[in-house]
């Protein structure tokens, strides 16, 4: 393939977008582009976009808009909007970014090469938001790897069937489709052979993997992936509470490679709000699943997503969410103030909450959560945790330099997804080391190799 120049990819949004960008990088490499981290030297600039929140959407338009002047100086420069905003906007994307060359929807990635051929033949303003019956699949492209990486994402499904009223995913990613388990295992094996030691299985609702397509269940998939030699840890996201089965809970307790951490979005602690969100479960159902999980896996770390200020959320509704925080005692939360997405049903709901009230509730929630995050971290002081080494710490903890002048400070993550810093001259990236925790901080832990 003739050298086409250099390509720069900007990724906005979720883990799935990171995964998709790697696949797009593989297509561009096969087409003749060399990847670059310097967009000033790029001959092709692709922005893989996210539309889950208004801020992310505006970020995409702002990033691509800056190249209008550059394209006048370098007419050969190719600009591409890919992903969720591209799927959502289609032709309308040219109204805000008229110098775009390609608008590539979420199900059109496999057709990127043919659209680049169309550009080469003189065609302009190409839009492809057509649906596809299959998920675009490609084996890992090692040229897109960062040599220091030990962890990678593996998408196991695409789209969603849940239609939560605040969410645009079914409209921009389509209906739910699962990849065949053989392909997932093959990709995992290829990653392991390339030196990857941890994988995170991705889907909008991994718990429903295989159900619609008649493949094996998600617990069965975990079993098969855990048999891949070289993979030491398995994580997954995102789980939907209504589909958290007893079989999955048992698999998490039984399979050693599956990490003792679960991200289980609750979104609200109020039954009235959950119903308006179309979440498909009640507060009581969620708490019963948490109880079953803690019984099967007592050391399980829990994180969640919460939306405050959903239309018509009363102060009593918000207090139900606060009470949920206090009852579950999550290790961490990702909390957001509700914002309208034009294609989501909730945008048309009455009784929208004032921004000032949303922000007050958000700050209250985050302040309360800090107490539980610090409590969970403090409980680990004096205990041994296993850490997958990710690299050398850039920020030294207090006292480290004076105590360990000639020793590196490394960092990694525990099974429960907590960042751990520790001194070591022996540990290298990809090692699993046992660390005795000595100090707990709000967002990390510090310790020493056990026995040192």
Distance CA 296, CA 251 (A): 10
What is the model's pLDDT at position 135?
A: 79
What is the model's pLDDT at position 402?
A: 44
Distance CA 219, CA 343 (A): 33
Which residues are CB-neighbours of 367 under 8 A, at least 6 positions away?
Answer: none
> In terms of CATH, what superfamily is 5-128?
Methylthiotransferase, N-terminal domain (3.40.50.12160)
What is the model's pLDDT at position 342?
A: 82
356 CB burial (10 A radius; 0-12, 13-18, 19+): exposed
Assign a CATH topology to domain 261-379: Transcription Regulator spoIIAA (3.30.750)
What is the model's pLDDT at position 403?
A: 57
What is the model's pLDDT at position 399?
A: 52
Rounding to the nearest 10 degrees, give the CA dihedral for residues 329, 332, 337, 340. Answer: -110
Tokens of 69: 């002047």
> Which residues make up the CATH 3.30.750.210 domain(s) of the chain?
145-259
CATH 1.20.990.10 applies to domain 145-259: no
As its CATH architecture, domain 384-449 has Beta Barrel (2.40)
Task: Write out the chain's pLDDT in tens, 452 residues.
Answer: 567 899 999 999 988 899 999 999 999 999 999 999 999 999 999 999 998 888 889 999 999 999 999 998 998 999 999 999 999 999 999 999 999 999 999 999 999 999 999 999 999 899 999 988 877 777 666 655 566 689 999 999 999 999 999 999 999 999 999 999 999 999 999 999 999 999 999 999 999 999 988 899 999 999 999 999 999 999 999 999 999 999 999 999 999 999 999 999 999 999 999 999 999 999 999 999 999 999 999 999 999 999 999 999 999 999 999 999 999 999 999 999 999 988 899 999 999 999 999 999 999 999 999 999 999 999 999 999 999 999 998 776 655 544 556 688 999 999 999 999 999 989 999 999 999 999 999 999 999 998 76
Q: How far apart are the first and last CA of the chain?
A: 54
Alpha-carbon torsion (213, 215, 216, 219), positive or negative? negative
Distance CA 190, CA 188 (A): 5
Tokens of 160: 């969603």
> Which residues make up the CATH 3.40.50.12160 domain(s) of the chain?
5-128
């Amino acid at each position: 393939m003739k050298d086409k120049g250099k390509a720069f990819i900007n990724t906005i949004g979720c883990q799935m977008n990171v995964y998709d960008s790697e696949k797009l990088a593989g297509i561009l490499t096969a087409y003749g582009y060399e990847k670059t981290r310097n967009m000033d030297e790029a001959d092709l600039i692709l922005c893989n976009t996210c539309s889950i929140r208004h801020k992310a959407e505006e970020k995409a338009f702002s990033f691509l808009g800056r190249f209008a002047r550059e394209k006048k100086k370098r007419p050969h420069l190719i600009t591409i909007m890919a992903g969720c905003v591209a799927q959502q906007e289609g032709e309308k994307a040219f109204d805000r970014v008229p110098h775009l060359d390609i608008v590539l929807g979420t199900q059109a990635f496999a057709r990127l090469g043919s659209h680049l051929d169309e550009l080469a033949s003189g065609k302009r303003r190409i839009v492809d938001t057509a649906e596809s019956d299959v998920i675009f699949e490609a084996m890992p492209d090692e040229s897109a790897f960062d040599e220091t990486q030990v962890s990678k994402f593996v998408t196991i499904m695409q789209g969603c069937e849940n239609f939560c009223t605040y969410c645009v995913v079914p409209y921009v990613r389509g209906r739910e489709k699962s990849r065949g388990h053989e392909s997932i295992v093959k990709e995992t094996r290829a990653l392991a052979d390339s030196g990857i030691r941890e994988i995170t299985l991705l889907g909008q609702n991994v718990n429903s993997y295989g159900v619609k397509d008649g493949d094996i269940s998600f617990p069965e998939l975990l079993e098969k992936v855990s048999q891949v030699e070289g993979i030491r840890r398995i994580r997954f996201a995102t789980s939907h509470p209504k589909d958290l089965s007893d079989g999955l809970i048992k698999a998490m307790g039984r399979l050693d490679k599956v990490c003792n951490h679960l991200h289980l979005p609750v979104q609200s602690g109020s039954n009235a709000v959950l119903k308006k969100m179309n979440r498909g479960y009640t507060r009581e159902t969620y708490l019963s699943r948490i109880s079953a999980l803690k019984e099967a896996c007592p050391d399980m770390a829990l994180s969640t997503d919460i939306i405050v200020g959903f239309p018509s959320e009363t102060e009593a509704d918000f207090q139900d969410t606060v009470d949920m925080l206090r009852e579950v005692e999550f290790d961490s939360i990702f909390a957001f103030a509700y914002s309208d997405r034009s294609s989501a049903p909730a945008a048309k709901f009455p009784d929208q909450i004032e921004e000032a009230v949303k922000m007050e509730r958000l700050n209250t929630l985050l302040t309360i959560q800090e107490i539980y995050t610090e409590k969970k971290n403090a409980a680990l002081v004096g205990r041994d945790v296993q850490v997958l080494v990710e690299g050398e710490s850039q920020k030294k903890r207090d006292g480290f330099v004076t105590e360990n002048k000639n020793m590196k400070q490394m960092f990694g993550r525990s099974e429960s997804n907590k960042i751990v810093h520790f001194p070591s001259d022996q540990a290298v990236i990809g090692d699993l080391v046992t660390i005795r925790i000595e100090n707990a901080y709000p967002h990390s832990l510090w310790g020493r190799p056990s026995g040192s």
